[in-house]
């Protein structure tokens, strides 16, 4: 019962839409109508405030770290700790408070890693930094997840890390494909192209800047 409650807490805590609240109460904007349509720190950076993204990002990391840490403090084991952290990722991606339209979950996953495998946190941060410098972090985020098992093996990290990474990859691809219920083109080559772009680039069109700078008509 305690394990179930901790996992449920992870989901509800992860569901707190930090980026949405920051945009709503500072600029009266609904982030779901801007840029990629994700409720994320990156959209806060693009459409609200470049400074505000810092507290938003830190709290999103905390959303994944706290449930994971609590599970370990209560002696519930690796599996429950990882499950609680991934539940926070699910809450971030599909928040109950915003009718299940959320972000991509990388920040709370980094919080999970901060507890079970801190080098993984640093690893993703490096990849995101490279992506930011090159102007497109989405493919670098996926690359960091795919390559992280090698880092875990090289550094003799905890076995629980492998399950956490596998879970995060599944959640990432599911969220990118679902894209907050954004409709796909009708069947055909364009539909296949959009699906591929979503999975690899996290967007529906080729031009990254055009995609993230979109505003309501």
CB contact burial 161-190 (16+ within 10 A = b; e otherwise)? bbbbbebbeebbeebbeebbeeeeeeeeee
Mean pLDDT, 10 residues at a time, the chain of 217 residues: 95 96 93 90 91 94 97 95 97 95 95 97 96 92 96 96 97 95 87 93 91 86
**Token couple for 145:** 């997840």
Q: What is the largest CA-CA distance in the chain?
A: 52
Asked whether the beta carbons of 3 and 79 are under 8 A apart, the reply is no
Q: What is the DSSP letter of 215?
A: -
In terms of phi and psi (left: phi > 0; alpha: psi -120 to 50; beta: otherwise), the region of 130 is alpha
- Rounded Cα gap, residues 47 and 27, in angstroms: 9
CB-side neighbour CA atoms (13 Å) of 140: 15
Distance CA 153, CA 125 (A): 19
Half-sphere exposure of 180 (CA within 13 A, CB side): 24
Rounded Cα–Cα distance for residues 197 and 162 (Å): 26
Residue reference for tokens 């109950």: 96
* Separation between Cα atoms, residue 139 and residue 202, nearest integer Å: 8
Of 42, 7, 27, nearest in space to 128 by CA: 42
Q: How far is CA 202 from the centre of its chain?
A: 12
Q: Which two tokens stand for residue 31?
A: 């982030």
- Token pair for 202: 């996290």
Average pLDDT, the chain: 94
Alpha-carbon distance of 161 to 142, in angstroms, equals 16
pLDDT score for 1: 87
């Amino acid at each position: 019962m305690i394990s179930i409650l901790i996992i449920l807490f992870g989901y509800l805590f992860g569901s707190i839409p930090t980026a949405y609240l920051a945009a709503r109460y500072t600029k009266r904007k609904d982030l779901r109508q801007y840029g990629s349509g994700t409720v994320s720190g990156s959209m806060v950076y693009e459409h609200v405030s470049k400074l505000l993204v810092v507290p938003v990002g830190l709290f999103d990391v905390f959303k994944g770290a706290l449930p994971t840490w609590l599970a370990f403090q209560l002696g519930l084991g690796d599996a429950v700790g990882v499950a609680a952290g991934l539940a926070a990722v699910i809450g971030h991606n599909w928040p109950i408070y915003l009718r299940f339209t959320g972000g991509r979950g990388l920040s709370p996953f980094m919080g999970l890693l901060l507890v079970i495998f801190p080098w993984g946190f640093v690893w993703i941060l490096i990849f995101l930094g490279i992506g930011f410098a090159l102007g497109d972090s989405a493919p670098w985020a996926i690359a960091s997840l795919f390559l992280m098992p090698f880092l875990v093996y090289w550094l003799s990290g905890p076995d629980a890390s492998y399950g956490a990474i596998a879970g995060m990859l599944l959640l990432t691809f599911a969220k990118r494909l679902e894209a907050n219920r954004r409709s796909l083109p009708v069947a055909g080559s364009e539909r296949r192209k959009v699906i591929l772009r979503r999975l690899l680039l996290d967007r529906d069109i080729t031009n990254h800047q055009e995609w993230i700078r979109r505003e309501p008509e």
